[in-house]
Chain A
Amino acid sequence: MTCEKCRELFVDARYGELGVVDGAAFKEHLSSCTACASDYERMQRTLEIMDRRLRSEPGEAFWASYWENLHSKMESEKETSPLRTHSPKMIRFRPALIPAWAYGVAAVLLVALGIYLGRSFLVRQAPDTGRRANVSIVGTGADSAFASRQAVERQSDEYLERSKVLLIGLVNAPAGVSSTSNLARQQHISRELIRQADYLKTTLKERDQQHLRQLIGDLEVVLMQLANYSVENGVPLVELVKQGVDKKSILLKINVEQIRALGSRPGPAAKTPKNNEKSKI
């Protein structure tokens, strides 16, 4: 037997799959060739190391509830995708007497009907809607100024709440939990908030709205860091956001602002200009 042939038989020999003839020739070659004997020995040692591998047993509870879990998985799968089952009754839900083309015709008719109804009713009603909108905008000068101030403040409240939720979620996320899709979503939200911040900063012009404008400006810096964050930066995102938030005490300021808003701005049941004037005094 040549060394090459002998090496080809290493695997069969190790796992007892050598025939009698090959087995005898293999043993004979190993006894006369130290190089092959040494290589075979090395392979044996490696496999002995592999035999020391320990494997994790699942808990007893896993085996005890194995069938129940499997059965419930299969049931829930059946509910979510009824067509996957092989029951012919489930697949033949279309009555055999109606030809397939009839469904296509019905769909076209439905679309046409929808377009007709839309053109007939919605287009005619549009001018009325516009008129009503104009009436509400015109109003009296004081009313409209108050209404727009209220709207901006409501938007600011929502803006602060959204930012707060985003930042708290980020700062409190356990290490390693944030995934790429999470990051992409958080960056998308922060970009939206940055756009909104631009608008709010130009709209919050009153003197008593200065602190709110300042807070939105501070938040914008942190949100920009988040929006432009890249994994390649090296600094973990959570650390970056934490630094920004802590430096300007942003969460504290948002809480203060929310408490202030609760105390000074009229609630939904008391949204009248008079009440608002009183609260300012």
Chain B
Amino acid sequence: MDAFRQLVESSKTKVYWIAYDLTGDRRDAEDLSQDVFIKVFHSLDGFRGDAKWSTWLYRITVNACLDYLKSPARKTMQLKNQTASEGLPAIVEPHEPLTPDRITESRMIQVNIERALDRLSPQERSVFVLRHYHDLPLKQIADTLSVAEGTVKSYLFRAIHRLQEELGFYRNEFGEKP
């Protein structure tokens, strides 16, 4: 049990952040990160060692999150949260003074980013967050999701294209010439 504890301690933050990026919800990520380790504990016998430990752990994490996203429980919660502003992360941008306008603007950006991520298919979102926020090489993402590297590239390309469409109205603001 001590060895398992060490394993949990060393990977818990990574698992939490992947779960967070896939669900977009802190509470869901907290619960899912623990569920993942319970699954890991029960499947340790099945870990053959031919994949990297981290790849195997991420695979369990992504699968747990995708299962949860498909579940009716998640859909009900989503409906409830649609009107609630609770759950948005606190605005922390120390390099700029926090005027009410800045806070509102920053909140709007956060809402739009989350909305854009929600528009991605589960596969596109998984590939995008693993590459963009977790810096996993395409090869490892392919191993994690058990798909070909070309498929991963194609999901990533589609994901970025869709994000571009969703966030198009921000691009001028961030410096693009019309």
Which residues of A approach B to under 8 Å, CB–CB?
A: 10-12, 15, 17, 41-43, 45-50, 52-58, 62-63, 66-67, 69-70, 73-74, 77, 84, 86, 176, 179
Contact = CB atoms under 8 A, between A and B. Distances in A.
B37 A49 contact: no
Nearest to A39: B164
A56 B87 contact: yes
Contacts of A56: 20, 26, 87-90
A66 B83 CA distance: 30
B176 A45 contact: yes
A55 B89 contact: yes
B113 A53 contact: yes
Given A42-B176, A52-B113, A58 B16 contact: yes
A68 B90 CA distance: 27
A176 B83 contact: yes
Contact of B8 (A17, A50, A55, A66): A66
B137 A46 contact: no
B27 to A, nearest CB: 9
B176 A50 contact: no
Contacts, number: 93
Contact of A58 (B29, B80, B110, B132): B29
A49 B116 CA distance: 11
A48 B174 contact: yes
Nearest to B152: A11
Contact of A74 (B38, B88, B109, B132): B38
Nearest to B113: A53
A82 to B, nearest CB: 13
Contact of B9 (A10, A11, A67): A67
A46 B167 contact: yes
B65 interface: no
A71 B12 CA distance: 14
B153 A11 contact: yes
Contact of B12 (A17, A66, A73): A66
B174 A49 contact: yes
B14 interface: no
B30 interface: yes
B139 to A, nearest CB: 9
Closest 5 CB pairs of A and B: A56-B26, A54-B89, A56-B89, A46-B164, A53-B113
A176 B76 CA distance: 11
B34 A73 contact: yes
